[in-house]
């Protein structure tokens, strides 16, 4: 089978799944990286206040993305995948999406007068709100391609959006370094996404149009509202800190907080990709028996430990250098936030395997309620801590919420007893990784390494970690390991 057949054609069920997985992973990785680099780079150009205005408006407008979707995209893909005749519902649902988009933008426009008294922040909210609703319309076309198992078409559209947003955003803020012009870049990117989606549908001869059937609207809403509600809580949880900091303190602190969050997002990518690649295998294994699930769970847990601990230790050691290099010295207040958020990242990393096991066993409702409860706790703690401690209070709240979420997830996991949580091998790898992290941290804080260019100190730290980890692994687990020799010595002395 040639590369073209493997990546562009649907030959068999297995090959189609592999093709779709490849294109989705490639698309998500590339788009996230491009947009992340854009937001990080513009922070060097904009002032901390302007950057904060943009982040505050983006967090607020992003809350409403789920209202444009309403969970209908996923339900449409499911229904059409099971019965291709149901693609005739697309026209009526498209008209419903257009109506939703209009109502959502009116809602964003109205609430902008409540959320901020700053006219420039309102302009950002209006522009980014338009960007969100247009992107929401475009995503319905993309889910149409997904239902036809043509993921490569969604990649084309997503990459064009990311590149156009980046190119136009940078062009505009180079001309006028104000946050509204960056927002215009985002709006232009969403328009490009919608036009590309319509063009791809036309080129591939997908007959689409606009219809009107209220009965179909009602049927899909009955099926989709639980998904919409769950997504709304997740969106609210991710945006709560930024919105409450901006509303209760000032937008400049929102900029500092988001600067640290962007780096944390980069740090989360490796383990996120690992988790994504393991989930299909866990889902399949859950139908085969606990032995296979245990094997995959242990393997994933070990990889997460090996990757997560050095990222957290290295990030804590190099936080000032990372903030100064990625952004600017004006963002140094974000250093402590970054170090604190890395603790949150450790809880998130640890939660991945547990969460996936529960979802694989159809317990996603449990994870939903954990998200709801921790979101409410986060809001209450923010109300108590942000007025006094600002962005540091919000960060402390995030740590507490992440810890509670992890403990709740762990408790539910223990209750269902799908697999053993920690085996001897996992403990051994954890101790080995911890010792290697301590050695790496000691090296990174050494003035000679610390003051090198970040692109040198990071690889040096990574090399030191894996070198020490490999040595300790050999010493504790090889055929002639130190532990085995010690065990043999003790047994021989007992006989004597």
Range of 344's domain?
267-421
Q: Are residues 193 and 235 in the same domain?
A: yes
Gap between the Cα atoms of 434 and 284, Å rounded: 32
Q: Please, which residues have CB within 8 angstroms of residue 392's CB and are 6 or more apart in sequence?
A: 336, 337, 340
Q: Single out the residue in 375, 395, 421 at which a domain terminates.
A: 421
Model pLDDT, residue 187: 93
Q: Are residues 366 and 458 in the same domain?
A: no
**How do residues 385-418 score in pLDDT, each as one tens digit?**
988 888 899 889 989 988 998 888 888 877 777 6
Q: Are residues 304 and 387 in the same domain?
A: yes
Q: Single out the residue in 248, 282, 310 at which a domain terminates.
A: 248
Query: Does any domain span residue 2?
Result: no
**How do residues 275-289 score in pLDDT, each as one tens digit?**
666 665 666 666 666
Task: Give the CA distances from residue 167 to residues 37, 53, 410, in Å, rounded to whole numbers and listed in that order.
Answer: 12, 21, 44
Q: Single out the residue in 200, 215, 248 at which a domain terminates.
A: 248
Asked if residue 343 has pLDDT above 80, the reply is yes
Q: Are residues 44 and 187 in the same domain?
A: yes
Asked if residue 115 has pLDDT above 80, the reply is yes
Cβ-count burial of 469 within 10 angstroms (0-12 exposed, 13-18 middle, 19+ buried)?
Answer: buried
Query: Does any domain span residue 4?
Result: no
Total of domains in the chain: 3
Lowest mean pLDDT of 236-240, 346-350, 383-387, 410-414, name the range: 236-240
Asked if residue 460 has pLDDT above 90, the reply is yes
Q: Are 127 and 105 in contact (CB under 8 A)?
A: no
Q: Are residues 451 and 307 in the same domain?
A: no
Model pLDDT, residue 6: 47
Q: Are residues 88 and 151 in the same domain?
A: yes
Q: What is the pTM of this model?
A: 0.70
Q: How confident is the model at residue 205 (pLDDT cuts 50, 70, 90)?
A: low
Query: Does any domain span residue 390?
Result: yes
Q: Are residues 202 and 342 in the same domain?
A: no
Query: Does any domain span residue 173?
Result: yes
Q: Are 60 and 125 in contact (CB under 8 A)?
A: yes
Query: Does any domain span residue 391?
Result: yes
Q: Are residues 168 and 292 in the same domain?
A: no
Asked if residue 142 has pLDDT above 80, the reply is no
Greater pLDDT, 134 or 43: 134
Q: Are residues 441 and 474 in the same domain?
A: yes
How many residues can be counted in the chain?
496
Query: Does any domain span residue 3?
Result: no
H-type alpha helices, 286-333: 290-326
The token duo for 206 is 């997908």
Mean pLDDT for the stretch of residues 60-70: 81
Q: Are residues 139 and 16 in the same domain?
A: yes
Q: Are residues 52 and 132 in the same domain?
A: yes
Asked if residue 38 has pLDDT above 70, the reply is yes
Mean pLDDT for the stretch of residues 329-352: 86
Query: Does any domain span residue 207?
Result: yes
Gap between the Cα atoms of 61 and 49, Å rounded: 18
Gap between the Cα atoms of 436 and 430, Å rounded: 10
Q: Are residues 441 and 396 in the same domain?
A: no
Asked if residue 26 has pLDDT above 70, the reply is no
Q: How confident is the model at residue 13 (pLDDT cuts 50, 70, 90)?
A: very low
Query: Does any domain span residue 427?
Result: no
Residue found by looking up tokens 């990286």 in the block = 33
């Amino acid at each position: 089978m040639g590369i073209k057949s493997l990546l562009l054609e649907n030959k068999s069920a297995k090959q189609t799944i592999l093709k779709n997985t490849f294109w989705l992973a490639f698309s998500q990785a590339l788009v996230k990286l491009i947009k992340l680099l854009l937001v990080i780079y513009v922070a060097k150009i904009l002032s901390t206040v302007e950057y904060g205005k943009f982040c505050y408006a983006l967090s607020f407008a992003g809350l409403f993305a789920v209202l444009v979707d309403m969970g209908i995209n996923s339900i449409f893909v499911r229904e059409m995948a099971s019965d291709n005749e149901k693609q005739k519902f697309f026209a009526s649902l498209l008209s419903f999406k257009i109506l939703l988009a209009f109502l959502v933008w009116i809602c964003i426009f109205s609430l902008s007068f409540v959320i901020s008294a700053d006219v420039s922040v309102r302009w950002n909210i209006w522009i980014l709100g338009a960007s969100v609703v247009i992107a929401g319309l475009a995503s319905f076309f993309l889910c149409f391609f997904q239902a036809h198992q043509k993921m490569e078409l969604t990649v084309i559209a997503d990459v064009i959006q990311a590149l156009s947003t980046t190119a136009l955003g940078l062009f505009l803020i180079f001309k006028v370094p104000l946050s509204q012009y960056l927002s215009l870049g985002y709006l232009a990117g969403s328009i490009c996404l919608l036009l590309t989606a319509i063009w791809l549908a036309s080129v591939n001869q997908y007959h689409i149009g606009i219809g009107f059937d209220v009965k179909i609207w009602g049927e899909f809403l009955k099926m989709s509202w639980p998904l919409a509600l769950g997504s709304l809580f997740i969106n609210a949880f991710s945006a709560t800190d930024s919105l409450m900091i901006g509303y209760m303190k000032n937008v400049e602190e929102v900029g500092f907080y988001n600067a640290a969050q962007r780096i944390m997002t980069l740090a989360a990518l490796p383990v996120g990709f690992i988790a994504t690649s393991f989930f299909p295998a866990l889902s399949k294994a859950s139908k085969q028996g606990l032995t296979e699930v245990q094997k995959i769970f242990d393997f994933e847990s070990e990889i997460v430990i090996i990757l997560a601990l050095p990222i957290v230790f290295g990030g804590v050691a190099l936080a000032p250098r990372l903030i100064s290099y990625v952004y600017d010295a004006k963002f140094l207040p974000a250093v402590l936030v970054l170090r604190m958020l890395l603790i949150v990242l450790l809880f998130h990393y640890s939660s991945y395997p547990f969460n996936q096991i529960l979802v694989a066993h159809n317990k996603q409702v449990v994870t939903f309620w954990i998200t709801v409860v921790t979101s409410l706790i986060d809001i209450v703690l923010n109300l108590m801590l942000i007025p006094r401690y600002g962005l540091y209070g919000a960060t402390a709240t995030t740590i507490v919420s992440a810890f509670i979420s992890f403990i709740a997830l762990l408790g539910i996991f223990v209750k269902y007893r799908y697999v053993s949580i920690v085996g001897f091998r996992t403990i051994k790898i954890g101790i080995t990784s911890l010792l290697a992290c301590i050695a790496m941290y000691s090296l990174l804080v050494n003035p000679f390494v610390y003051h090198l260019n970040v692109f040198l100190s990071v690889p040096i730290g990574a090399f030191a970690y894996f070198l020490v980890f490999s040595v300790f692994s050999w010493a504790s687990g090889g055929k002639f390991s130190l532990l085995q020799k010690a065990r043999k010595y003790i047994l021989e002395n007992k006989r004597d």
